[in-house]
Structure 1
Amino acid sequence: MNTILRNSVAGLLCSTFITGAALAAGTHPVTGEPLADDQTFVYRVLDEHSSVDPQVVEDVSGAEIVRDLFEGLMNQDEDGNLVPGVATGYTTNETKDVYTFTLRDNAKWSNGDPVTAHDFVFAWKRAVDPALSSPYAWFMELMSIENAAEIIAGDKPVDDLGVKAIDDHTLEVKLSAPLPYFPQMTTHSTTFPAPQKVIEQFGDEWTKPGNIVSNGAYVLTEHLPNERSVRERNPMYWDNDNTIIDKVVALVINDENVALTRYLAGELDRTEVPAGQFPRLKKEYPNEAISFPRLCNYYYTFNLSDGGPEAFKDPNVRQALSLAVDRKIITENILAGGQPEAYTFVPEATAGFTPPVVEMASMTQAERDELAKELLAEAGYGPDNPLSFAMVYNTSEAHKKVAVALSQMWKQKLGAQVELANMEWKIFLEERGNQNFELARGAWCGDYNEASTFLDLLQSDSGYNDGKYNNAKVDELLAQAKTSDDPAPLYTEVERIIAQETPVIPIYHYAGVYMMDSDVGNWPVNNVEQNWYSKNLYKIAE
């Protein structure tokens, strides 16, 4: 067995490793900074989260909460490197299709029960169980866990999943194919443990404050839907003595300008910068306005299902709409926060990914517009037969500005008649997932730092392939990439096919554009996945 140890905790987490004596003295033991008496971190979220059930949550803001409430096998440090979580390390065989994780013996649930390998077995079987209908069941299949695909399809029993508790502190996972980056995938919330007896006792009500039992650094103490969610220190957490932040509050504020006003009034420690305001805020608040690359894309997806618009079944129409988008106007004039234009689906910040040369990217916007008109005319659309369709986005002032800009570009350049509609987040997810749309906003933040986390969305059977794009060659290339020693050329070929067939319109790649109170210490700006953990933060005395 090749042993892969991840035990250099002191070195990797030196910026957040605290001692009781240092805390008592009121200073950070590494930086020497004075610590604030009130260690409460308050931040804004756009929408109510989907869930705090690890096997059900499907949105970024929900996953942020779940990472505090629960802890998986592995965590990430401030640079995105793997560090121990419940597992202190792991081993793998030569072919990398069997992984064995060693669990720490001092991990506990918030009710004092020990966290064991059986809790992971229960959670992982739960995630693939058709009875739960987890929106992230496909992720377990993507992890290549033995029999996951067959169980999700209903062809094999849940107990056939390739995961086993050798003993209380040893978890063995068998894969259907080698997957070198499998450990990185265990930082995802779907793989976190779940408390079986609590779920069996309370059913769907198990995640409510007062019922929920979790194993992370925090416990859920309050939840007012569409208003606020509060998590506080979990005294049973194995590393509670080395945690500084006492309370974390997520406030749902739908209007980003209202959120900014509340931030400037001192009510928030972090909020997103409203579209277009970063240059001004950076001048006025140079120590608080920040922008950094994120592992996320922003796109629009065509409904290519049988029930989708007939016009969108023509790749010329789809490509014409993509060509006519002046991405520079969106990134520089509307957003103005350092977001790069997107001509590929996978962000350039992705590890090991070099964007292919896409013809559209090397053209001037005037050349793109001219070609767009030609392609649309070839498809049979023009002044006497204008292209007409509806596009939807989830409620947000920034999303609205982008949608309006797109519709105006298409109207002015192509004569298209576009109807805009916004939807509340959960309804939007449901409608998009059921293909009740024509053109819909999409965005994806990588579940792990590898190109497949984005490209797998366009695999024909992907649970998040909401546009129902289906290309046998893409499926074949993605399948080959999973076992390839060098998947980069395969990913490049997939991107070339996407550029040609245009099942989606990449608009831009994300940047983290925040107002961050200067008294917040250790925000992981170098972690492009932005998997942040409140236990690693601290508040500096003003």
Structure 2
Amino acid sequence: MKNSKFAWLLSLLLVVALFLAACGGKEEGTKTTTETDKETTPEEEEAAVVDEEQVLNLIMTAEIPTMDSALATDAVGFDLLNNVNEGLYRLNQENVAVPAIAEGEPKVSEDGLVYTFTLRDANWSDGSPVTANDFEFAWKRAMNPDTGSEYGPYMMSGVIKNATEISEGKVEYTELGVKAIDEKTLEVTLEKPIPYFLSLMSFGTFLPQKEEFVTSQGENYAKNSEAVLYNGPFSLTAWDGTGLSWKLVKNDQYWDKDTVKLTEINYDVVKETATRVNLYTNGEKDRTSLDGEYAMQYAADPELLKELETSVFYFKYNQERTGEKTPLANVNIREAISKAFNKQDLVDVVLANGSVPANYLVPKEFSFDENASDFRDVNGDMATFNVEEAQAAWEKGKAELGVTELSIEILGGDTDLSKKMDEYFKSQLETNLPGLTVTLKEVPFNVRLDLDTNQDYEIQVAGWGPDFQDPYTFMNLWLTGGGNNQMSYSNPEYDKLVNSANNELALDPAARWQAMADAEKMLIDQDFGIGPIYQRGLMFLQKPYVKGIVAHPFGGDYSYKWTYIEGKN
């Protein structure tokens, strides 16, 4: 995920609080000004939309892997969950976390460890009330080993009392520090004081689930749109669990339903750029992403939107596959691949969508210290494109492996753009690294997620969008056993630096900042644990009658709660 696109809470610490999640950080797009961009008062907007058909037609480039908030790990899932469900807090139009199902601010104990939330009157889509037990049940379910949640342990460990011990198998999941005092009162006990804990409450892993419904559904829970309950602005319908289309409809049980203007959002999964553009130009879709030749073709179009995301994409180098070491276990082979392809040409010619080369992990224009200095200024660029250095490392690596030729597989997506990128990588690497043969494995998104989880790949094109606004959201991915580290990378010194930033250095901003910068340099420019590729930019065509889409820098990519149609007819 987003940036999201995609960022969240933490200015300096997030102490342990912010362990993870899916998807991306980005800033609101910019658009060429048209007459429809004139500012209006809320009263004028209300009057203007009365006679409009409030239907939005959108495109997704990947299927829905799951609608279970305990299991979601991807941008598609978190984006939809953000629009059909709601937690204690929600990101508003200014990307500030504000009370949602929580009715106002919680009471906080003097030691900063115990938060007591009072819930507002809110209902599920079946008309039953949202209760404190729905939060207790959902959070504990996410920590139950039988559920198999990746994000539950990652987000809650070091944050919610006992979560770390539960993750380590030392304490039962039922001992998680969350308790429903009564139907309207939820008590949360933290492991230690966390200044930005309330912002964390807007993240998808902390959404509620109704115990009675989940239990009655059994293994069928969240496998289709009828097997989920919704307490957010919209409800999901017409999703059979595997299909390439679905829709959101306004949830009349939502506590803030009067704010929601759209009655329906229609989605279709379309992976080919040409098809997406055709659907947009013939009026079947209201918004579409652009890349490559299409981005250049529509660069001056008045309906163009641009977004610079805080999502970074990279090669994951898997050092062990099916119990055996891969060629990527050799640091010189990893260095060679990291430096052997021209990132500038990739973003200019292949992507052509506003993306920029990434010679780093933590994105630029994302996280700033107390002096408003960008984290990116500390290390600058690392592991830059350099054929001479790449070939020197390549020859050294081959000699250490005792081979003159190597065949390496790259795992990528099955979209049009993914295929073009993979072909570019293959051409660059085979040209610049003598004796290398690259094979391409291009699969649907959900298949790639499974292969990643099972560590069944050699090189994978992957990306990460932040879960909160702090470098730690990127750095903790690569801890030994970390949330995205299905590639057997491990360095005790890296672990020490990153863990210190989240513990003893939490209240020393300058030292904490430097520790994370040192860790980033170790990962990228010493161990070559991953190979950064690009920081994503996005270009969209959007119909001028579509108003009020809110892009988020982390968590769910977009909110449609405030979206409306004006001037279409």
TM-score (norm 1): 0.88
Distance change >3 Å, CA 134–CA 469, structure 1 → 2:
same
1:14-41 CA-to-partner distances (Å, cap 9, x unmatched) read xxxxxxxxxxxx9952657722621111
Query: Residues 404-423 of structure 1: matches in 2 within 5 Å?
Result: 404-415=423-434, 416-423=436-443
CA contact (8 A) 2:382 2:521 kept: no
* Alignment RMSD: 2.4
1:348 is aligned to 2:364:
yes
Q: Hey, what does 1:29 align to over in structure 2?
A: 43
CA shift, 1:197, in A, is: 0.7
- 1:477 maps onto 2:497 in alignment: yes
Aligned to 2:174: 159
- Secondary structure at the residue paired with 1:156? coil
User: Do the aligned residues in 2 keep the contact of 1:245 with 1:538 (CA within 8 Å)?
Assistant: yes
C-alpha displacement at 1:525, in angstroms? 4.7
Equivalent residue, structure 1, for 2:258: 241
Say if 1:524 and 1:530, in contact at 8 Å, map to a contact too. Answer: no
Deviation at 1:360, TM superposition (A): 5.4
SS in 2 for 1:199: helix
1:476 is aligned with what amino acid? K
Flag the structure with more relative contact order, 1 or 2, with Cα contacts below 8 A and sequence separation at least 6: 2
* Secondary structure in structure 2 of the residue aligned to 1:375: helix
Q: CA deviation at 1:351?
A: 2.7
Give the corresponding residue for 2:124.
109
Residue number in structure 1 paired with 2:465: 445
In structure 1, what is the Cα distance between the partners aligned to 2:149 and 2:355?
Answer: 32
8 A Cα contact 2:291 2:352, kept in partner: no
Per the alignment, residue 3 of structure 1 pairs with: none
Whether the 8 Å contact between 1:138 and 1:463 is mirrored in structure 2 is: no
Matches within 5 A, 1:61-76: 61-76=76-91
Structure 2 match to 1:22:
none
Q: For the residues of structure 1 that align with 2:527 and 2:131, how far apart are their CA atoms?
A: 48
Distance in structure 2 (CA, Å) of the matches to 1:497 and 1:414: 24
**SS at 2:140's partner residue?**
helix
Describe the SS at the equivalent of 1:380. helix
Which one is further off, 203-212 or 460-469?
Answer: 203-212
Q: 1:33 to 1:372 in 2, by over 3 A?
A: farther
Amino acid at match of 1:370: E
Correspondence 1:229 to 2:246: yes
The aligned counterpart of 1:532 is 558
Alignment equivalent of 1:378, drawn from 373, 392, 396:
396
Q: Is 1:201 matched with 2:216? A: yes
Match status 1:79 vs 2:105? no
1:317 to 317, 322, 333: 333
Deviation at 1:99, TM superposition (A): 3.1
- CA deviation vs aligned residue, 1:87-146 (integer Å, no higher than 9, x gap): 122344465443333322x21111222212211000000001011111322333346211
Structure 2: state its 5+ residue gaps.
1-39, 369-373
1:193-226 alpha-carbon deviations (Å, 9 max, x no partner): 0011111112132333444322111122211433
Distance (Å, rounded) in 1 between the aligned partners of 2:284 and 2:486: 37
2:514 corresponds to: 489
Q: How has the CA–CA distance of structure 1 residues 182 and 291 changed in structure 2, closer, same or farther, with 3 Å as cutoff?
A: same
How far has the Cα of 1:437 moved from its partner? 0.7
Query: What's the counterpart of residue 286 of structure 2?
Result: 269
**What are the superposed Cα offsets for residues 376-420 of structure 1, whole Å, 9 maximum, x if unpaired?**
122235998023211111211111111111121111111221111
Query: What does residue 541 of structure 1 align with?
Result: 567
Task: Tell me the secondary structure at the aligned position of residue 238 of structure 2.
Answer: strand
Shift of 1:498: 1.0
- The 2-side partners of 1:66 and 1:331 are apart by 31
State how far apart, in whole Å, the 1-side matches of 2:201 and 2:316 are.
Answer: 28
Select between 75-84 and 377-386 the one with higher mean Cα deviation: 377-386
Partner Cα separation in structure 2 for residue 475 and residue 451 of structure 1? 15
Instruction: Compute the displacement of 1:458 (Å).
Output: 0.7
Aligned residue among 200, 205, 219 for 1:185: 200
Find the aligned partners of 2:398 and 2:367 in 1 and give their Cα distance.
42
Q: Is the 8 A contact 2:548 2:560 kept in 1?
A: no
* 1:37-81 superposed Cα distances (whole Å, 9 cap, x missing partner): 211112111121111111122211121111121101111123321
> Which position in structure 1 is the counterpart of 2:116?
100
How far off its partner does 1:149 sit? 2.4
Change (3 A) 1:448 1:33: farther
**1:355 corresponds to which letter in structure 2?**
R
- Looking at structure 1, the residues matched to 315 and 44 of structure 2 have their Cα atoms a distance apart, in angstroms, of 45
How far apart, in 2, do the equivalents of 1:468 and 1:29 lie?
57
**Which one is further off, 426-435 or 516-525?**
516-525
CA distance in 1, matches of 2:351, 2:299: 14
* 1:455 corresponds to which of 475, 491, 506: 475
SS at match of 2:288: strand
Alpha-carbon shift at residue 347 of structure 1 (Å): 1.1
Change (3 A) 1:267 1:198: same
Change in CA separation of 1:444 and 1:95 when aligned onto 2, cut-off 3 Å:
farther
CA drift of 1:175 comes to 2.1
| Residue 355 to residue 113, structure 1, CA distance change in 2 (3 Å) | same
Report if the CA contact (8 A) 1:290-1:516 is conserved: yes
- For the residues of structure 2 that align with 1:481 and 1:513, how far apart are their CA atoms? 35
Structure 1: gaps of 5 or more residues: 1-25
Comparing 38-47 with 349-358, greater Cα deviation is found at 349-358
For 1:504, the equivalent position in structure 2 comes to: 530
Which of residues 410, 413, 416 in structure 2 aligns to 1:391? 410
Match of 2:66 in 1: 51
Change in CA separation of 1:209 and 1:194 when aligned onto 2, cut-off 3 Å: same
SS of equivalent to 2:124: coil
SS at match of 2:217: helix
Deviation at 1:526, TM superposition (A): 7.2
Query: Deviations for 1:246-278, whole angstroms, at most 9, x for unmatched residues?
Result: 111221112222111111111111221133422
* Displacement of 1:154: 2.9
Change (3 A) 1:30 1:351: farther
Counterparts of 2:250 and 2:88 in 1: how far apart (Å)?
20
